[in-house]
Amino acid sequence: MKGLLVVSFIHIRSALRVEAHPLEYVRNGDHIRLEHFSSSRKLHSHDERPQLTNRKEHHEVTAYGDRLTSDIQDYWSLVLLDDKHEHSKDMNMTWKALDQQFRLFHIRGCALISHDAYYDSPGGHGHQEVTCMVSAVVFDRLGSQTTSTDGTINPKATFAETPSKWFFKKTSLRIWYELSGFSVHLLLNSAIQHIIWSAMLGYIGIRLLKMFLEKRQINLPGLSWINTAGNRSCKE
């Protein structure tokens, strides 16, 4: 899961938040969903091994869905840590995202971690792999402590010098799925829909105005580009 930062996520409760809903605070033990602000994808994990770490105790973490699509495996349990880096038993404690340590447990029981497994350049740019691990231990800010199974790199992960070796093979299907999902998200985005409809209605309005002026033998040089563009497309 590359390019996803914790600060880029917003809190979502059991229903999508609207302006009419009151402000809600996240507390210790709450079940939450984390949504990427720009793409509306949710932090998600499922029963698949990650790309780099091919171990059964690691589960792949992805960004899944859009503003109209969600899944039961988008839910995480927030566990706050005390000063001793242990799970706090105070269930009324409010989460302070900027200065409070916490852990995220998936609905299936694994914990969200990042470890010493890096994606290769140029596509990876030094990004660390994020997984959901069943046996992960508590860690602090200064040093991440995980079990000895971390850092095992999947030997099947290879780098192709030329795209033609893998671009039209099964291994590239993930890229096509991402592109198709992003395209659907753009079409469903209300701002993009307004831009498309405004452009279509604007063009139709200009065409009708030009037809109206031509019947009255009024020529506006500013509208001559419509005929020019139409003639070029017909010749081509």
The DSSP code for 81 is B
Cis peptide before 122 (omega within 30 of 0): yes
**Domain CATH number, residue 38:** 2.80.10.50
- Asked whether residue 123 falls in the same domain as residue 192, the answer is no
pLDDT given at position 201: 93
Closest CA to 213 of 203, 204, 223: 223
| Burial class of residue 41, CB neighbours in 10 A (0-12, 13-18, 19+) | buried
The DSSP code for 143 is -
Classify residue 131: in a domain, yes or no: yes
Closest CA to 34 of 65, 60, 58: 65
- Asked whether residue 32 falls in the same domain as residue 95, the answer is yes
Q: What range does the domain containing 177 cover? A: 162-221
pLDDT given at position 179: 64
- Asked whether residue 103 falls in the same domain as residue 178, the answer is no
- Asked whether residue 104 falls in the same domain as residue 173, the answer is no
Strand, coil or helix: 212: helix
Give how far the C-alpha of residue 90 lies from the chain's centroid of Cα atoms, to the nearest Å.
32
pLDDT given at position 121: 66
Q: Write the single-letter amino acid at 4.
A: L
Closest CA to 150 of 171, 136, 160: 136
Nearest-angstrom CA–CA distance, 235 and 133: 61
| Burial class of residue 53, CB neighbours in 10 A (0-12, 13-18, 19+) | buried
Q: Answer yes or no: are the C-beta atoms of 148 and 133 closer than 8 Å.
A: no
pLDDT given at position 131: 86
- Asked whether residue 132 falls in the same domain as residue 170, the answer is no
Q: Which residues pair with 62 in a beta bridge?
A: 44
Residue 61: count of CB within 10 angstroms of its CB: 25
| Burial class of residue 157, CB neighbours in 10 A (0-12, 13-18, 19+) | middle
- Asked whether residue 131 falls in the same domain as residue 172, the answer is no
| Residue located via tokens 């990427």 | 36
pLDDT given at position 143: 38
pLDDT tens over the chain, length 236 residues: 433 333 333 444 444 455 556 677 888 888 888 888 777 788 888 888 887 777 778 888 888 877 667 777 888 888 998 888 788 888 888 888 777 888 888 888 888 888 777 777 665 566 788 888 887 655 443 333 333 334 444 444 455 556 566 666 666 666 666 666 666 666 777 787 888 889 999 989 888 888 888 887 777 766 666 665 555 544 55
Q: Answer yes or no: are the C-beta atoms of 35 and 44 closer than 8 Å.
A: no
What is the C-alpha end-to-end distance of the chain, expressed in Å?
44
Strand, coil or helix: 188: helix
pLDDT given at position 93: 87
Residue 204: φ, ψ to 5° = -65, -40
Classify residue 5: in a domain, yes or no: no
pLDDT given at position 31: 87
| Number of domains the chain is built from | 2
